[in-house]
Amino acid sequence: MPSGWPILTRIIKDHPKYNSSNHKYYTDVLVSLLYCQKGLCAYTETFIASEERYGPHNFTNGRYVIADSKSKKEHSFSAQLDHFDHSLKTTKGWSWENFFAVLDKVNTSKLDAPVDEILKPDSPDYDPYKLLAYDRKEGVFYAHPKIKDEQLVTNIEDMIIALGLNLGTVKDSRRSYLEPKLKRLEKGQDIEPVFQYFTAFEMMKQQLLPENT
């Protein structure tokens, strides 16, 4: 979290019961998360906003200043605040560890789905390269083929669905973003740095250029 946000820190420590209808700090938290996530959706790695709109210069005394202005003209983000584990909403409603900024479509499709921390993006043990694989043709993530434990496979698949990794729009966007880059790589051409969908890109790159792995 960027420094100089004492009020927000206090709110998070107190973490009163989350009330979705009280949006007083909603944008402050959302934009802070986007800063931590470098403007990406925490689950799908879709690019949501540039630093210009989420960077520390937008904050004063822990508040997102544009949101706090009288004009009420704030940046609009196609992002929503997601409680990773919905069941914690009442007891730890403002727990920072449970918050992620995600694509609005991902949040609305996830709703109250039960979760397993196996694919929680900030979990210390989380290693997508061991748990997931990517099918370039279909544009979908799936449970890594080396995993033999069927229950684990089912848990991973349930979480892939819950986190919206294979949502139609995400899939289309990811495929159309990565495909030209992968085609250039196949031809041995240079590519511009990737700024979203890193995990899928790295998986494909490892397949195309195994010597780099």
Of 79-108, binders to another protein (CB under 8 A) are: 105
Q: Cα dihedral sign for 143, 169, 162, 41?
A: positive
| Whole-angstrom distance, CA of residue 102 vs CA of residue 83 | 10
Binding track over 126-165 against another protein, x by CB under 8 A: -------x-x-xx-xxxxxx-------x---x--xx----
Contacting residue, 56, 114, 168, 180, with another protein by CB under 8 A:
168
Q: In the complex with another protein, which residue's Cβ is closer, 11 or 132?
A: 132
Contacting residue, 169, 175, 194, 206, with another protein by CB under 8 A:
169
Q: In the complex with another protein, which residue's Cβ is closer, 53 or 144?
A: 144
| Whole-angstrom distance, CA of residue 69 vs CA of residue 61 | 13
Find out whether 7 and 62 touch, Cβ atoms under 8 Å. Answer: yes
Give how far the C-alpha of residue 125 lies from the chain's centroid of Cα atoms, to the nearest Å: 17
Verify binding: residue 166, another protein, rule CB under 8 A: yes
* CB 140 to another protein: min, Å: 5
Q: In the complex with another protein, which residue's Cβ is closer, 97 or 135?
A: 135
What residue ranges bind another protein (CB under 8 A)?
105, 133, 135, 137-138, 140-145, 153, 157, 160-161, 166-169
